[in-house]
Amino acid sequence: MPKKFIRRLLPDHKSIVNNKALKIFGSLLHEPNLWHLNRRSASGAFGIGLFFAFWPVPFQMCLSASAAISSKANLPLSVATVWITNPFTMPPIFYGAYKLGATVLGTKPSEFAFELSWSWLLDSASSVGPALLVGCAICSVTFGLMGYYGLNAVWRYAVKKSWQHRREIRKK
């Protein structure tokens, strides 16, 4: 069942509440719904996490945590899902988003060589930026919705199978 699998992966809520970086949220973290793991909170958190994972901005985890707190979705799952875009997966994911954005905008994807500098970032913001942002927006909404409805469907399927299994055991 997804609940048991997800619960094994998530940290204890007391360790998160005591985290210094999350003190900015104050008493909001004491909301019990942020820590319950049920179909609604898990699918909401997964959708929120995937939505913010495709934003090409720093502090994606803070944005995801803020959205999870305001929508009362599972906070640890929401923050953990953002890590789908990590330093290893970011380049191919954002390059794919750039190619998608260039296709949607009808522009030819330009060749570029990435440099880790402010000057390159500022110079390429006008040429690469619009296509990247459009692609990221499309991916963000698409994968966020797919994550929400996908986990919701998997959760329902697992519960249905569990009920069927219980019925079969009771018949014996």
Cβ pair 101, 86 in contact under 8 A: no
Give pLDDT tens digits for 55-72.
Answer: 888 888 889 988 998 898
pTM for the predicted model, two decimal places:
0.77
Q: Residue 77's closest CA among 3, 153, 170?
A: 3
Higher pLDDT, 130 or 50: 50
Give pLDDT tens digits for 97-128.
Answer: 988 998 998 888 777 666 666 776 677 777 77
Domain-by-domain residue ranges, the chain? 2-171
> What would the mean pLDDT of 40-53 be, rounded to a whole number?
93
| pLDDT of 140 higher than 90 | yes
